[in-house]
């Protein structure tokens, strides 16, 4: 920028400085919006003192460094003391604005610009006062395009004789810039820095550009931060929709299983009333467990406990004809899986594999870890399927179709659900999902 004085005229140099100033503010706002804590502060209007302090320091320290760069390096585009203090007050309240004004004013005051500190603090209080007066959502609607709709805001104010807060949000930084120019012209650039101090006379056009740059330097970060807020809200809505979809898919399992079990009970009431009574008692216990559970994810241990209750019912139905074997690797016990994900697989083995088999049938449940993934298998030694019918269970029926859809919704393309079958020897269903331990946070 120092060399620019030799290559550019004074007006061109000032114009370049104003453009670079807008770029500096946009970059700073974008960088701050990338940090989770800062974005969290932007989202919620009710902020504690710690959140306000974090916001103040996150914005104030870089702005303070910019003023220092202007003093030491003559990099005038880095001085955003007016815009930064006003913006802090507008977003976080008068005290945050005043504190940011104090931070940016201290280096200038140390350098002898004695008016800089009270002026910057006053800008912070001005932004905070405007925040207290106008609706909070109106602030977030303030954007660099406010000049395009300026005639609409004026017309609304005149026609309805009301307050156009967008107009006031624009007029406030304009008034502060005009005040800074007046104070600088009165007391000199040695006591207060102001854009255009290097010009012998600021033309009306250059003054208009200075004022425009000040308004844009306030509106641009608001636009960037509001986009981050909207993105967060859309992500929250997407997560809620995803959770609702998972819950809906999970809820399909319960009536499906209940219908099959009640059908079995109804067939036993006359021929084996004691067995039917036992089935009802076990079913009521399982339903109580399902009603108590509102979790979308459980550990393998909890899922196996749920399967045990289900298999208790099936063992009563089939007697010694049904055997269950578990080959569970100890390091998978605390792995997290979607709840009620194994019951449809076990039910499918019993219904399509073992119910048609003459003699004893065995269901084997296995789990192991491999390459940061979890493998879960449900295998039976039942009748199996012909090759051309292998995909039929996957394409029809609530059970396996539900499992596949739930895995797709939760894991996207990172899951696998495969089936292998051989007529007369049995069927094997395998689930492969990313490894996630119980200690890790689960979100839908």
pLDDT in tens, 340-357: 788 888 888 887 777 777
Contact (CB, 8 A) for 66 and 79: yes
- Dihedral of the alpha carbons of 167, 168, 170, 176, in degrees to the nearest 10: 150
Q: How does residue 419 score in pLDDT terms, banded at 50, 70 and 90?
A: confident
Q: What is the C-alpha R_g of the chain?
A: 34
* SS3 assignment, position 390: coil
Q: Where does residue 22 fall: left (phi above 0), alpha (psi -120 to 50 degrees), or beta otherwise?
A: alpha
Higher-scoring residue by pLDDT: 105, 39 = 105
| Both tokens assigned to 196 | 């255009």
pLDDT for position 249: 52
pLDDT higher than threshold 90 for residue 362: no
**Quick check: helix, strand or coil at residue 142?**
coil
| pLDDT value for 293 | 56
pLDDT at residue 375 in the model: 92
* CA-to-CA separations, 46 to 60, 86, 108, 435, in angstroms, rounded: 20, 19, 32, 38
SS3 state of residue 360: coil
Dihedral sign of CA atoms 50, 220, 211, 209 in order: positive
Asked if 94 and 38 count as a contact pair (C-beta separation under 8 A), the reply is: no
Q: Which domains does the chain have, with CATH numbers?
A: 4-236 (no CATH), 269-434 (3.30.565.10)
Average pLDDT over residues 83-97: 94
Q: Are 85 and 100 in contact (CB under 8 A)?
A: yes
pLDDT of residue 130: 93
Distance of CA 398 to the CA centre of its chain: 32
Tokens of 332: 């998978």
The fraction of the chain above a pLDDT of 90, given in percent, is 35
Alpha helices by DSSP H, 111-203: 116-133, 136-140, 150-160, 165-187
How many whole angstroms separate alpha carbon 112 and alpha carbon 189? 10
Residue 289: count other Cβ atoms within 10 Å of its Cβ: 14
The model's confidence at residue 277, banded by pLDDT at 50, 70 and 90, is confident
Mean residue pLDDT of the chain comes to: 82
378-411 pLDDT, tens digit per residue, is 998 888 775 455 555 444 445 677 788 878 878 8
Q: Where are the beta strands (DSSP E) in 344-400?
A: 361-370, 373-380
Indicate whether 285 pLDDT > 80: no
Q: CB–CB of 362/381 below 8 Å?
A: yes
Per DSSP bridges, beta strands 322-328 and 361-370 are: parallel
- Token pair belonging to 8: 């550019």
How many other C-beta atoms are found inside a 10 Å radius of the C-beta of residue 255?
10
| pLDDT above 60 for 5 | no
Residue 80's φ and ψ, nearest 5 degrees, are -125, 40
Q: Which residue, 30, 218, 7, is CA-closest to 127?
A: 218
Higher-scoring residue by pLDDT: 238, 436: 436
Q: What is the mean pLDDT of residues 363-383?
A: 89
Integer distance in angstroms from the first to the last C-alpha of the chain? 51
Whether the per-residue pLDDT at 86 is higher than 90: the answer is yes
- Is the confidence at residue 1, as pLDDT, over 80? no
Report the pLDDT averaged over residues 109-120: 95
State the Cα–Cα distance between residues 57 and 109, nearest whole angstrom.
19
Mean pLDDT for 217-245 is 80
Instruction: Supply the pLDDT for residue 28.
Output: 94
Q: Does position 179 have pLDDT exceeding 90, yes or no?
A: yes
Residue-level pLDDT at 398: 56
**More reliable by pLDDT, 106 or 243:** 106
Smallest CA-to-CA distance from 122 within 71, 171, 176, 165 is with: 176
Q: What percent of the chain has pLDDT above 70? A: 84
The residue among 242 and 219 whose pLDDT is bigger is 219
Three-state SS for 191-222 is: CCCCCCCCCCCCCHHHHHHHHHHHHHHHHHHH
Cβ(381)–Cβ(426) below 8 Å: yes
Q: How far apart are CA 294 and CA 159, in angstroms?
A: 55
**For range 434-443, the mean pLDDT:** 59
């Amino acid at each position: 920028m120092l060399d620019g004085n030799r290559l550019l005229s004074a007006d061109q140099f000032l114009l370049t400085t104003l453009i670079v100033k807008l770029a500096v503010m946009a970059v700073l706002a974008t960088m701050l919006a990338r940090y989770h804590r800062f974005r969290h502060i932007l989202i919620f209007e009710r902020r504690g003192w710690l959140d306000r302090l974090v916001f103040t320091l996150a914005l104030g320290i870089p702005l303070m460094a910019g003023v220092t760069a202007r003093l030491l390096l003559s990099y005038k585009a880095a001085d955003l003391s007016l815009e930064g203090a006003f913006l802090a007050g507008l977003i976080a309240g008068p005290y945050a604005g005043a504190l940011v004004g104090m931070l940016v004013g201290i280096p200038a005051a140390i350098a002898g610009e004695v008016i800089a500190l009270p002026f910057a603090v006053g800008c912070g209080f001005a932004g905070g006062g405007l925040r207290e007066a106008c609706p909070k959502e109106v602030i977030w609607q303030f954007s660099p395009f406010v000049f395009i709709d300026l005639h609409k805001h004026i017309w609304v104010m005149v026609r309805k004789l009301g307050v156009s807060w967008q107009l006031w949000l624009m007029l406030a930084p304009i008034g502060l810039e005009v005040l800074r120019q007046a104070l600088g012209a009165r007391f000199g650039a040695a006591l207060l820095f102001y854009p255009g101090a290097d010009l012998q006379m600021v033309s009306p056009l250059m003054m208009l550009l200075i004022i425009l740059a000040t308004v844009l330097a306030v509106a641009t970060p608001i636009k960037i931060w509001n986009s981050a807020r909207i993105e967060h809200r859309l992500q929250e809505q997407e997560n809620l929709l995803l959770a609702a979809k998972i819950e809906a898919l999970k809820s399909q399992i319960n009536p499906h299983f209940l219908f099959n079990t009640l059908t079995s009970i109804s067939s036993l009431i006359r021929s084996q009333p004691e067995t039917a009574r036992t089935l009802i008692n076990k079913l009521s216990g399982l339903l109580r467990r399902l009603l108590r559970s509102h979790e979308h994810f459980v550990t393998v241990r909890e899922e196996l406990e749920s399967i045990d209750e289900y298999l208790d019912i099936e063992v009563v139905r089939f007697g010694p004809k049904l055997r269950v074997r578990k080959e569970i690797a100890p390091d998978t016990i605390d792995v997290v899986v979607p709840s009620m994900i194994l019951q449809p697989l076990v039910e499918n083995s019993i219904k399509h594999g073992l119910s048609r088999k003459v003699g004893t049938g065995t269901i084997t449940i296995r789990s192991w870890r491999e390459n940061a993934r979890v493998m879960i298998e449900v295998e039976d030694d039942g009748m199996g399927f012909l090759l051309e019918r292998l995909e039929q269970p996957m394409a029809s029926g609530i059970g396996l179709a539900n499992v596949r859809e739930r895995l797709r919704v939760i894991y996207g393309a990172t899951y696998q659900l495969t089936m292998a079958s051989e007529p007369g020897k049995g069927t094997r269903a395998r689930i492969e999902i990313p490894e996630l331990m119980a200690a890790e946070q689960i979100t839908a």
